[in-house]
Chain A
């Protein structure tokens, strides 16, 4: 499958950019940025109907990254698809930068929602999916959620409302990397049984390996077939690994919110450039 090989290569390019950005910024969230690389790659390089040269295209698909701390992955995808030059990635978190530590849609065209205070993005995505239904040219709306994030009550307000609105034009993706700042999700506040919860709220739930395009792509393509007026929103539970692709970061909570040093960056880049996930 040549497309999948391309995407795997592309994912590693994003990983390298993320690691470089965070090192340059000397802060950020490598764990949760690296865990969602394949998800974001699948969207920006395959599934999203978008035009990097026309970020305000009316019928573009909407992608809301509700787990705002994972935005370096989105910045990397945007730069690699041509929204802005690759060099701008190195301005992450610098004074005056468009690439804020958490996404600011007013500064950076192509960012759809300003997030970072967790639990809010799915509601915003719901509003966009409702808007698509009453717009002349509809679009599909995607929302990426963190696993710790769904401990926020507002997420469950939208979990309840979106199926009631018949929002087949909405797809949520859960980056289930099993870690949050204070420790493993299951210890901090367990979210299981997670697929059952979303099913009980009447979502069309599918569970995939969040690092395998062979599973992500069909799950995303299937989601677009739902009726946007009278369908079911889809929840893709993507099992992922925090810090994926860098051996010394994988599954290590301490890499939630710390940037690599220059030496660690070199080690990480060797791994990322030398092989595919």
Chain B
């Protein structure tokens, strides 16, 4: 087993680099942005392949329809903006993309309170919920650079995934959770650490908080499992069943509202399989409140998402 620890990197940065690389071998990739290409990192692609990059201006609805038209003409469009802005044009995604079976890759960066300073208006906090609500939509959220790269690789193919997809990315850097041998598998929970009694399930930025929380818990004698839930739809109900059999407590940690995202997906999987009495589920995330400006680390603390807070929640529940 080789370990090549990478440096922490924002998943938006990993996306931008990977997309610009894929452009050379994948002539069908086209990219649209709505005046945020410097922030979404689609700018890297635009510089290498200007004839396949379309600057739409500040008009997300128009970008979504344009992406659909490109997809329906055989191209593989990545349409990029902040998660809140692009998924906020829900009817356009519902009709022109999902219902039309247009294989658009919707890229939403700046997920959650982790963006910090800019405050609530720029924070995607309901995007997972919205995208999970659409038939045919694949919903992905990578937790580190290597996972992001492998997702971009899959999404770059016009044949490997003939469905629309939503890719949720972070503004802030995320620590590597995998070594270079990692093989990402669509729709399968990724067990990073095997423990007992308690399993911490994270997605996106939540995964590193789970990993750090597990270290804190380990020091206190509790050996928790850590699971990376990178695919929110289709969701790995079988994987949840296995976790429910092996643990007494499941904690979900996500930089998103606790409704409609990972916590909901796990709750649904438990309920659908008659497992709700076997395991206690605690959903950590932003609880029915608006985000706000601040230091990301402080906001994670304030909203109960930081590793210490996650560990506290576990200890409170378990002891």
A interface residues (Cβ-Cβ under 8 A, vs B): 58, 62, 104-106, 112-117, 119-132, 134-135, 153-154, 157-158, 160-161, 164-165
Contacts and interface: CB of A to CB of B under 8 A. Distances in A.
A192 B92 CA distance: 26
Given A105-B101, A161-B56, A131 B65 contact: no
Contacts, number: 110
Nearest to A117: B95
A240 to B, nearest CB: 25
A1 B73 CA distance: 36
Contacts of A127: 65-73, 77
A158 B32 CA distance: 14
Contact of A128 (B72, B92, B95): B72
B69 A126 contact: yes
Interface majority SS (helix, strand, loop, mixed), chain B = helix
B93 to A, nearest CB: 10
Contacts of A134: 30, 51-52, 75
Given A123-B92, A131-B69, 13 more contacts: A106-B101, A114-B100, A117-B91, A117-B94, A120-B96, A123-B64, A123-B66, A124-B65, A127-B70, A127-B72, A129-B69, A131-B73, A135-B73
Contacts of A58: 74
A208 B57 CA distance: 32
Contacts of A105: 72, 100-101
Given A114-B95, A117-B91, A128 B61 contact: no
**Would you list the 8 A-B pairs with minimal beta carbon distance, nearest first?**
A127-B69, A123-B65, A131-B73, A157-B62, A157-B59, A127-B66, A114-B100, A128-B69
A62 B100 CA distance: 15
B65 A161 contact: no
29 contacts: A62-B73, A113-B68, A113-B72, A114-B100, A117-B95, A119-B61, A120-B92, A120-B96, A123-B62, A123-B68, A124-B69, A124-B100, A127-B67, A127-B69, A127-B72, A128-B70, A130-B30, A131-B75, A134-B30, A134-B52, A135-B73, A153-B61, A157-B59, A157-B61, A160-B59, A161-B59, A161-B62, A164-B57, A165-B54
B37 to A, nearest CB: 15
Given A123-B62, A124-B66, A130-B70, A115 B30 contact: no
A114 B96 contact: yes
B99 interface: yes
A161 B72 CA distance: 19
Contacts of A158: 62, 65-66
B100 A154 contact: no
A161 B96 CA distance: 18
Nearest to A127: B69
Interface of B: 30, 51-52, 54, 56-57, 59, 61-75, 77, 91-92, 94-96, 99-101
Nearest to B52: A134
B51 A120 contact: no
Contacts of A114: 95-96, 99-100
B100 A113 contact: yes
Given A127-B65, A154-B61, A160-B57, A113 B70 contact: no
A153 B74 CA distance: 27
Nearest to B73: A131
Contact of A124 (B51, B54, B57, B96): B96
B69 A123 contact: yes
Nearest to B63: A123
B95 A122 contact: no
A128 B100 contact: no
A62 B74 CA distance: 13
Contacts of A115: 95
B261 to A, nearest CB: 26
A154 B62 contact: yes
B251 to A, nearest CB: 39
Contacts of B57: 157, 160-161, 164
A71 to B, nearest CB: 14
B69 A120 contact: no
Contacts of A128: 69-70, 72-73
In this complex, the member of A127, A135, A161 whose beta carbon has the largest number of chain B beta carbons within 10 angstroms is: A127
A125 B67 CA distance: 10
A114 B100 CA distance: 5
A112 B70 CA distance: 12
Nearest to B75: A131
Contacts of B64: 123
Nearest to A105: B100
A153 to B, nearest CB: 8
Contacts of A122: 65
Contacts of B100: 105-106, 113-114, 124
Interface centre among B94, B95, B101 (most CB of A within 10 A): B95
